[in-house]
Amino acid sequence: MGLSQKELSHNICTQAQISKIEKGEVLPLSSTLYLISRRLGVDVNYFFDIGTTPRLDYVEETFRQLKAARRNTDYHTIKQIVKAEEKNPLFTHHKKNYQLLLWHKAIYVFEIDRDFNRAVKLINEAIELTFDTVFTEREIEIFISKGIFHYEEGFIDDSLTIYEQAFKAINQLPYLKDDTIKSRLYFNIAKSLTDQSMFDASITYCKEGIDWAIQQDNLYLLAHFHYHIGYNYELQKNFDLAIPYMQDALMIFQLVKDHRYTDYIEGKIRSWQT
């Protein structure tokens, strides 16, 4: 990562120790690993993953592609990737890697095959692979997908129960590597509350989601939160309050060059102003 052994070892350990660690001649203390990870700008788990997963670069690239496809709702690409890798020993012989494939298989089974029961079964299998007393960050992500499946099937009460369990679990974690997970929870809870005509509660979750996104310096879902507040006001026929939130949503969507909703939102605003 561009650092010499001397630079990497400075104030952590000796240069000779770094050399021995690199050659696999000694096992470093966990405190040493932590300090090295901080200097390299990586999570300390990166080193454990290297030790347990051959070709970590290949696995991480596969994960990156799955995440991008998931964010873009490109379910056919998800299916293609999972089909290509589901018999690959890099995944089948490693629980955490196989878990990711099962999770994304559940997503395409639900979104493409429209098989709710099988998708939920796959989600449960994925979580059970690694679950041990307390939810991990990834297990919470997978659990959120389970809530989305229930929401999309019209089981709103069940989806809210799942999201609330996930919210409780996420607040028990000491820190989040991916702060967008909490943003997704805020947004999905808000959607479920809207479907139950609990508009004020939905608006509250959206505003908390906005505060969270700003606090984390992350634009992810920021536009959606503003839009959904406007949508809640729209459903209550309170168009004067809906307009500024829709305008903010439109501005943020344009800022991040997401033009999918431009005509739709502009049409709403025009209809309310005439």
Query: For 167-189, how does the pLDDT look when each residue is reduced to its tens digit (9 = 90+)?
Result: 999 999 988 989 999 999 999 99
Query: Are 139 and 102 within 8 A, CB to CB?
Result: no
Average pLDDT over residues 108-132: 96
How far apart CA 120 and CA 105 sit, in angstroms, is 11
Query: For 216-262, how does the pLDDT look when each residue is reduced to its tens digit (9 = 90+)?
Result: 999 999 999 999 999 999 999 999 999 999 999 999 999 999 998 99
Residue 105 has which token pair?
A: 């298989």
Full-model pTM = 0.77
Cβ burial 146-178 (10 Å sphere, 16+ → b, else e): bbbbbbebebbebbbebbeebbebbeeeeeeee
Domain ranges of the chain: 1-52, 197-273
Helix/strand/coil for 134: strand
Higher per-residue pLDDT: 120 or 90:
120
How far apart CA 166 and CA 134 sit, in angstroms, is 11
Which band of pLDDT confidence, cut at 50, 70 and 90, is reported for residue 42? low
- Taking the CB of residue 45, how many other CB atoms lie within 10 A of it? 12
Burial class (CB in 10 A: 0-12, 13-18, 19+), 227: buried
How far apart CA 63 and CA 88 sit, in angstroms, is 14
Query: For 62-99, how does the pLDDT look when each residue is reduced to its tens digit (9 = 90+)?
Result: 898 999 999 889 999 999 999 998 888 888 888 989 99
1-52: what fold?
434 Repressor (Amino-terminal Domain) (1.10.260)
Query: Are 229 and 196 within 8 A, CB to CB?
Result: no
- Paired with 132 in beta bridges are 134
Mean per-residue pLDDT over the chain, rounded: 89
pLDDT at 143 over 70: yes
How far apart CA 233 and CA 244 sit, in angstroms, is 11
pLDDT at 122 over 80: yes
